[in-house]
Amino acid sequence: MENQTEMSEFILLGLTNVQELHSSILASMLGNGAIMAMVMAEPRLHTPMYFFLGNLSCLDIFYSTVTVPKMLAGFISGYQTISFTDCLAQLHFFHFLGSSEVILLAVMAYDRYVAICNPLRYMLVMNPQVCLFLAAATWTTGFLHALMHTVMTSQLHFCSRKRVHHFFCDIKPLLSLACSSTRLNLSLLNIVTGTIALTPFIITLLSYLYIISFLFLTVQSWEGRRKAFSTCTSHLTVVALLYVPVLFNYMPHSVGGSSEREMIITLIYTIVTPVLNPLIYTLRNQEVKSALRKALGRKLLPGKK
CA-CA distance, 260 to 67, in Å (whole number)? 17
pTM for the model stands at: 0.85
For the chain, the domains span 9-249+259-286
Q: Cα(129)–Cα(111) distance, rounded to whole angstroms?
A: 14
Whether the per-residue pLDDT at 156 is higher than 70: the answer is: yes
Cα–Cα distance for residue pair 261/147, rounded to 1 Å = 27
d(C-alpha 303, C-alpha 305), whole Å: 7
Residues 188, 191: Cα–Cα separation, whole Å: 5
Taking the CA atoms of residue 55, residue 57, residue 60 and residue 65 in that order, the dihedral angle to the nearest 10 degrees is -100
pLDDT computed for residue 233 by the predictor? 84
Secondary structure string (H, E, C) spanning 99-149: HHHHHHHHHHHHHHHHHHHCHHHHHHHCCHHHHHHHHHHHHHHHHHHHHHH
Which pLDDT score, from 0 to 100, does residue 16 have?
43
User: Any idea which of 141-145, 167-171, 179-183 has the lowest mean pLDDT?
Assistant: 167-171
pLDDT digits (tens, 9 = 90+) for 3-56: 443 343 444 444 445 666 667 778 888 889 988 988 888 888 899 999 999 999
More confident residue, 121 or 263: 121
State which fold the 9-249+259-286 domain adopts. Answer: Rhopdopsin 7-helix transmembrane proteins (1.20.1070)
Please check the confidence at residue 88 and state whether its pLDDT lies above 70: yes
- With bands split at pLDDT 50, 70 and 90, how would you rate the model's confidence at 304? very low
Q: For residue 163, what is the enclosing H or E element?
A: strand 163-164
pLDDT of residue 95: 92
pLDDT score of 131: 96
